[in-house]
Structure 1
């Protein structure tokens, strides 16, 4: 190799190295400046549900922290599948983010082709869950959880419970409840929490697998028999947890934030940090408590372990429910 050739090779190598440094510097700068314009927060459901409510609670605090607007938009359809299947077609710059829900993003692909796989979604933070709860009308014959279980054992299959959809948190809570209490109840899926609530209120079913938020929104109409939390909810200090009653159930509908796969690592981490700051806000904490939500703090560096654990749990439950094709 001639001196001229060697010099040329060194020049090319130096150029590549500088280009690499430039790319690296650009990524670092983009993360450092992020966000420098409004962030579009897509909810893959219609307005008015828990995903929308929590996004609206995050919105002003995100703006206060960053100085940039969080613009909430909706892309409903297929129980979230329409939005999730299109996420990776968005530009991965951190300015398009999307609400992510469990067990939906795990169970839906197991049930059939929905346009996305669980691994297609890059979750950067899981910030809350809405606890599963057994809800009855105020004038129900079931005054306690023990009353309901006693009836279920004496009348296999006759205890009917409404819930939001198939393969959802409500449905899988019913599967788990039956197994842990050695009962056989009949779960009846409805299109959304509102319809499930209306069915219970109208007497079409004897109880509802709803969420703690149902009682928070209708305190004069319903009674909670139990909630699936580690500790009693401050909003309902007299309502026992399922764990207190010897039923090892904690969970509900988990919500987080996801970004397109093309989003650079520094931006993923920065967004995760910002959602963590929102979660740490005293105002956000209080608003979540007041509405029956439970805060969760699973940042980007803990997401993989969290998802692996939940995937195992929900795959087992979906198998038991006969949902996997």
Structure 2
């Protein structure tokens, strides 16, 4: 059998498998409400809206994105947790929303209180940037600064707060950590010179970097994300700081397992669409990633275990 025939048969088998699995339930029959704990325009919002567009192409059913920022995303996660488990309310969040909030005590619940569907994507586009007015151009500059002289902007109890703690531990730097709020608020504070450093998605700041208003200090990936260009990892700079942020699709506890499984199948199909990969690359310099339910739970539990040692430090800042 030649290679083209083998590829065709493989594709046909995958298509038939997906059709058979998805025929187990007639969900969705109406619009699915996707709740996110972030403001419009950020990386979480972008990923959710990109997913929704392809979800409609595959299923013929629409999704509506409901932004519920605030409270470290606890407003959004609480809304999903308390929703009717009929499959028409879904959370699109990330580990900051469902793990860091539990570790920090912002929420008294976590991933075990939801039906975790899958990891639809992994944010590998995060970078640490410094405002041009800070004069910082490298990690070495941060390490050489007087303790407390650098202001790090974050959202207390959230993912970027934990980023700051792990970054400080890895560099030995002592920064003044302040609560600035969401990604858009961090950008405004960086541009206004009110904070010096922040962890943020490269896609949200690339224009400011190009314009010379911000300087990229590094990316917290194990290996370079080539979509970020020549941005070095922190490991390359001698800093023990690797921190990826998986996104999470979750439903209220008690949602029909067949609905959860079907959503996972649809999401996996989305990740195989070339245009979807192009959208992620152009939007937030993010490569395509996907982990099904079992692998997702294994990854999320490992992340929770890794973050628990920072529980007291996160809670002390609240």
TM-score (norm 1): 0.80
Q: For residue 227 of structure 1, report the CA deviation from its aligned partner.
A: 0.8
Shift of 1:123: 1.7
Distance 1:309 1:217, change over 3 A: farther
Provide the rounded CA distance (Å) in 2 between the counterparts of 1:139 and 1:100. Answer: 33
1:196 equivalent among 186, 193, 197: 186
2:53 alignment counterpart: 60
Match of 1:127 among 120, 128, 135: 120
Name the residue aligned to 2:231: 239
Separation in 2 of the partners of 1:196 and 1:46?
13
Q: Distance in 1 between matches of 2:301 and 2:169?
A: 22
Runs of 4+ in 1 over 6 A off after TM superposition: none
Map of 1:148 onto structure 2: 142
What SS is found at the alignment partner of 1:312?
A: helix
CA contact (8 A) 2:131 2:215 kept: yes
Name which of structure 1's ranges 98-107 and 213-222 shifts more when overlaid on structure 2.
213-222
CA shift for structure 1 position 194: 1.7
The answer on 1:254 being equivalent to 2:246 is: yes
Gaps of 5+ in 1: 1-27
Q: Which has the larger radius of gyration?
A: 1
What TM-score, normalized by structure 2, do the two folds share? 0.82
Contact 1:167–1:323 (8 Å) recurs in 2: no
**Which has the higher mean CA deviation after the structures are superposed, 234-243 or 132-141?**
132-141
* 1:1-325 → structure 2 map (5 Å cutoff): 31-112=24-105, 114=107, 116-130=109-123, 131-138=125-132, 140-149=134-143, 151-152=144-145, 155-163=146-154, 165-218=155-208, 219-220=210-211, 221-290=213-282, 291-323=284-316
How far 1:322 moved relative to its partner? 4.7
Count how many residue pairs are aligned between Structure 1 and Structure 2.
294
After superposition, the CA RMSD in angstroms is 2.6
**2-structure distance, mates of 1:324, 1:30:** 49
- Does the CA-based 8 Å contact 2:171-2:240 persist in structure 1? no
2:142–2:173 CA contact under 8 A, matched in 1: no
